[in-house]
């Protein structure tokens, strides 16, 4: 479920299945959490994705683990 730029996401309007879909996608793509925080704030992200997931994503981002750049082993 994607939200158009002109459309606001209202958490209370989401079905259980939609919330589970957001959480599943966010677990596989942490950029979804970052994008949600940028648009709706950290509190909204914690409500949608869980505090634990948001905390882990932010911690990993601080460690640089979300850098998806490619470096061949021979150049590392």
Flag whether pLDDT at 69 surpasses 60: no
- Domain presence at residue 20: yes
Residue pLDDT, tens place only, 6-59: 568 899 999 999 999 999 999 999 999 999 999 999 999 999 999 999 999 998
Boundaries of domain holding 44:
15-66
Flag whether pLDDT at 1 surpasses 70: no
- Domain presence at residue 33: yes
| pLDDT for 74 | 59
Report the alpha-carbon distance of residue 39 to residue 1 in Å, rounded.
Answer: 16
Q: How far is CA 7 from CA 3, 4, 54, 68, in A?
A: 6, 5, 23, 29
Q: Which residue has the higher pLDDT, 70 or 30?
A: 30
- Domain presence at residue 61: yes
- Domain presence at residue 42: yes
Flag whether pLDDT at 76 surpasses 90: no
């Amino acid at each position: 479920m994607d939200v158009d730029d002109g459309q606001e996401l209202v958490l209370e309007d989401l079905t259980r299945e939609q919330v589970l879909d957001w959480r599943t996608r966010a677990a596989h793509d942490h950029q979804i959490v970052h994008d949600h925080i940028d648009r709706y704030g950290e509190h909204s992200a914690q409500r949608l994705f869980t505090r634990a997931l948001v905390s882990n994503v932010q911690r990993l981002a601080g460690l640089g683990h979300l850098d998806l750049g490619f470096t061949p082993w021979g150049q590392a």
